[in-house]
């Protein structure tokens, strides 16, 4: 697997999808594929952020999802879109611990409030 071809995703915060798309087009005109939505609480609840990619749907390599400091300590569920049906999660407290979970994931188990990063991909 060619990890070097993994793309970096773009995060946009908004309470409203149309507003988020407008903001995103100003920042990254080509970033239009919705990859994942990340949530503060389990079961896709609480504060959330939509993550977009500029290279189309998830493939076997997928995208590295950047997480802010706050999200690393608060992420609890993840919805996947556009072929992003698996997420390789790495723990924040132990960067040596990584494991794939199916997306969408209502509960991210040992990565709850403890995720360093996610590689969303198709698998
Ligand atoms: Ca949480």
Average pLDDT, the chain: 87
Contact 68, 90 (CB under 8 A): no
pTM: 0.81
Q: Given this model, what pLDDT does residue 3 score?
A: 37
Q: Which tokens hold the place of 85?
A: 């049906």
Buried b (16+ CB within 10 A) or exposed e, 34-57: bbbbbbbeeebeeebbbbbbbbee
Ligand 1 center from residue 77 Cα (angstroms) = 8
CA of 84 to the centre of ligand 1 (A): 21
Q: 65: closest CA among 29, 109, 111? A: 111
CB of 60 within 8 A of CB of 98? no
pLDDT digits (tens, 9 = 90+) for 33-90: 999 999 999 999 999 999 988 888 999 999 998 789 899 999 999 999 999 999 999 9
Residue 92 tokens read as 């924040």
Question: What does the pLDDT read at residue 5?
Answer: 47
User: What H or E segment, with its residue span, contains residue 27?
Assistant: helix 17-27
CA of 12 to the centre of ligand 1 (A): 19
- Mean pLDDT over 94-100 rounds to 96
CATH number belonging to domain 3-121: 2.60.20.10
């Amino acid at each position: 697997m060619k990890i070097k071809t993994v793309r970096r995703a773009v995060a946009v915060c908004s309470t409203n999808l149309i507003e988020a798309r407008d903001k995103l087009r100003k920042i990254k005109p080509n970033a239009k594929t919705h990859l994942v939505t990340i949530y503060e609480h389990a079961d896709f609840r609480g504060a959330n952020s939509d993550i977009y990619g500029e290279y189309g749907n998830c493939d076997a390599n997928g995208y590295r999802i950047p997480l802010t400091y706050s999200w690393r300590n608060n992420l609890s569920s993840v919805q996947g879109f556009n072929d992003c049906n698996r997420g390789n999660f790495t723990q924040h407290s132990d960067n040596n611990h990584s494991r794939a979970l199916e997306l969408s994931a209502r509960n991210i188990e040992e990565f709850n409030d403890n995720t360093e990063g996610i590689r969303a991909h198709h698998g």
